[in-house]
Structure 1
Amino acid sequence: MYSIAELETFLAIIKHQGVVNAAKQLRLSPATVSHRLNKLEQHLGTTLLFRDSRTLTLSPAGSTFRERVEHILEALYDAEHEIGARGSAVSGLLRVTMPPWVFSQFVMPNLSQFEQAHPQLALDFLINDQFVNIVEGAQDVAIRVGQLADSGLLARKLCDNHRILCAAPSYITRYGMPDNINELQNHFFVCLPWQREFKLKEPNGRTVHFNAKTRFTISNSDNMTSAALAGHGIAVKSHIAIRDNLKRGELVPIIPGCLESDDAPIWFVRPQHSLKTRKAEAFYEFMKALFENRG
């Protein structure tokens, strides 16, 4: 009979696209990983993976077997999570990617609580505003903001959120408050490099494409907020990210409701074909508590 370790190794080879990469992630030798796969194929009497020096492809039998294995292991992990079959301590390494503002405003101030609750769990953070393919990037989970266009992701909403245009009072004093979207053409924006073009909504519901006029762009959402606070221009920001700034009057809304697509929920996502592990669930519960009642 094949072992759980062999099943986990089989899925790791698929996820990381090869024996060598899987061995690195599992902290095993390539020979051990290859041996486990060979034993599994011998037991089943079929080829699960077609592999050469460059590519790895699931056989028809391998594709069917993968689906069954994922369900079996996930059910097993769920059962272990409920009864604590692996003990009370959550351990291992969890790779997480998220935007800078989520990390700096929510995670970092509360990280010590998570560390105290799970001292044997190591976290590897990839902090980035750019889209990160969590499958190709070998990330276990991601925190995403906005409407999800990704296929192959399992998503759970952490909270509701929406985007707004905003600026500092010092900017408004210098350049004036725009009353409609046509007047935005005369204003400067601070934005992420890939955020210069977006859609605006006129009062009659008509959608117009808008190209923001910028003096500079910034590839970090935290620094973009700092630039807006310093009066360098109008910014498109998640409301939840600047809620305290709005309350203190450090930023003011610009033409509320003018963004064509302002709905931007906060999501906890993981790959469709990854397994729900105790470490991922522990981090989900942590993030869920951070965003509770914040939408």
Structure 2
Amino acid sequence: MLTTADLDFFSTVARSPSLAAAARELDVTPSAVTQRLQELERRLGVRLVDRSGRHIALTDEGELLASRGRILADEIAELTETLSARGGAVAGHLRVVAPFGFGRAYIAPVVATFQRAHPAVTIDLMLSDRRGKATDHSWDVAVHIGEMPESSFVTRPLAANDRVLCAAPDYLQRHGIPEVPRDLLVHRCIALRENDEDVTLWRFARRGTPATQVRIEPVLASNDGDVVRAWALSGEGIIVRSEWSVADDLHTGRLVRLLDGYALPDAPVVALIGPRKGRSARTTAFVRALQQALTPIPWRL
């Protein structure tokens, strides 16, 4: 007999490129995933995965379980929550995705507080800076920062967040201060690769003048915001970074805001919810908790 735990487990296996990747997402050893998969196949009496190659290939039976299993798991969760809601409880399993740095600083504390307030809710928090390709309904709430691609997801605003051009005083003493955007072409610029955006095209707006675009040639680049910020703090170059990440550095003078007369495109913090999951009581309550935690905006206090 299948359980909801079986369905959730196999859903993770089915969307992973390998059993090792599934193990990383489940936070267990690869051997544990293999043993659980073999035990599931034994109980069902069918082979679910062809493991002859380097990557996972589902058998016909595996494809059937993956497609129908996710639907069944969602229906069971919805039924459980409907029954719990009639008793006044917020219950069920909540899967949350958030960017690494922002997730550690602002989302993880809300997750812990929310679970204490609603003991009947279990929560998985996955930190990832590549949520943009997650279209398989493997999460209930995704926190997104920056430009929003076209999607069918319901969007809930969480907090305003500017982008800031800045550098360390040490760097500016050695290389000078840019006065207009085109000055950046002769400066050491550092790029943060995130959200599949065109991160080397920096766009500036100024009231009363046409928008300006500068295509930088980064001397350093990383997909980790903390690394990019550390490089800037050590005087390696100029960065564009979210306000939430560098607010304390700007306040203390460790970093200096540049081109004050110009504005970069903002990077609002939003919660994304799938259309069906927007009706979930636990999802609605969690998004409300996020909005309350980010009001007033903590990095502007």
Give TM class, smaller chain.
0.5 to 0.7
Say what the alpha-carbon RMSD is for the aligned residues.
Answer: 3.4
1:237 and 2:241 equivalent?
Answer: yes
Residues in 1 aligned to 2:132 and 2:124: alpha-carbon distance in whole angstroms: 14
Q: Kindly indicate whether the alpha-carbon contact (under 8 Å) linking 2:162 and 2:267 is maintained by their aligned counterparts in 1.
A: yes
Please say which of residues 140-149 and 108-117 is displaced more in the overlay: 108-117
Residues in 1 aligned to 2:286 and 2:227: alpha-carbon distance in whole angstroms: 26
2:272 equivalent in structure 1: 269
Any idea what the Cα deviations from partners look like across 1:23-60, whole Å, max 9, x if unmatched? 544786xxxx9xx9xxxxxxxxxxxxxxxxxxxxxxxx
Q: Cα 1:115–1:185, aligned 2, differ >3 Å: closer, same or farther?
A: same
Residues in 2 aligned to 1:253 and 1:95: alpha-carbon distance in whole angstroms: 37
Residues in 2 aligned to 1:22 and 1:275: alpha-carbon distance in whole angstroms: 21
Instruction: Indicate the SS of the match to 2:158.
Output: strand
The within-5 A match list for 1:27-176 is 84-92=85-93, 94-136=94-136, 138-176=138-176
1:7 equivalent in structure 2: none
For structure 2, the 5+ residue unaligned runs are: 1-10, 16-62
TM-score normalised according to structure 1 size: 0.67
Q: Cα 1:257–1:80, aligned 2, differ >3 Å: closer, same or farther?
A: farther
Q: Cα 1:247–1:153, aligned 2, differ >3 Å: closer, same or farther?
A: same
Residues in 1 aligned to 2:247 and 2:265: alpha-carbon distance in whole angstroms: 15
Q: Cα 1:213–1:88, aligned 2, differ >3 Å: closer, same or farther?
A: same
Any idea what the Cα deviations from partners look like across 1:149-202, whole Å, max 9, x if unmatched? 323121111122211201122222222221111211111122223512232336
Q: Cα 1:159–1:144, aligned 2, differ >3 Å: closer, same or farther?
A: same
AA aligned opposite 1:103: G
1:227 and 2:228 equivalent?
Answer: no
Q: Kindly indicate whether the alpha-carbon contact (under 8 Å) linking 2:97 and 2:131 is maintained by their aligned counterparts in 1.
A: no
1:293 and 2:299 equivalent?
Answer: no
Deviation at 1:248, TM superposition (A): 1.4
Please say which of residues 144-153 and 244-253 is displaced more in the overlay: 144-153
Any idea what the Cα deviations from partners look like across 1:251-284, whole Å, max 9, x if unmatched? 111102534x522221111123444212212321
Q: Cα 1:258–1:136, aligned 2, differ >3 Å: closer, same or farther?
A: farther
1:177 and 2:184 equivalent?
Answer: no
Q: Flag the structure with more relative contact order, 1 or 2, with Cα contacts below 8 A and sequence separation at least 6.
A: 1
Q: Cα 1:258–1:25, aligned 2, differ >3 Å: closer, same or farther?
A: same
Q: Cα 1:107–1:175, aligned 2, differ >3 Å: closer, same or farther?
A: same
Q: Kindly indicate whether the alpha-carbon contact (under 8 Å) linking 2:155 and 2:270 is maintained by their aligned counterparts in 1.
A: yes
1:284 and 2:290 equivalent?
Answer: no
1:20 and 2:20 equivalent?
Answer: no
For structure 1, the 5+ residue unaligned runs are: 1-11, 37-72
AA aligned opposite 1:105: A
Deviation at 1:124, TM superposition (A): 2.5
Instruction: Indicate the SS of the match to 1:223.
Output: helix
Q: Kindly indicate whether the alpha-carbon contact (under 8 Å) linking 1:142 and 1:269 is maintained by their aligned counterparts in 2.
A: yes
AA aligned opposite 1:143: V
Share of identical aligned residues, percent?
Answer: 23
Deviation at 1:115, TM superposition (A): 3.1
Q: Cα 1:109–1:257, aligned 2, differ >3 Å: closer, same or farther?
A: farther
Work out the number of aligned pairs and report it. Answer: 234
Q: Kindly indicate whether the alpha-carbon contact (under 8 Å) linking 2:181 and 2:214 is maintained by their aligned counterparts in 1.
A: no
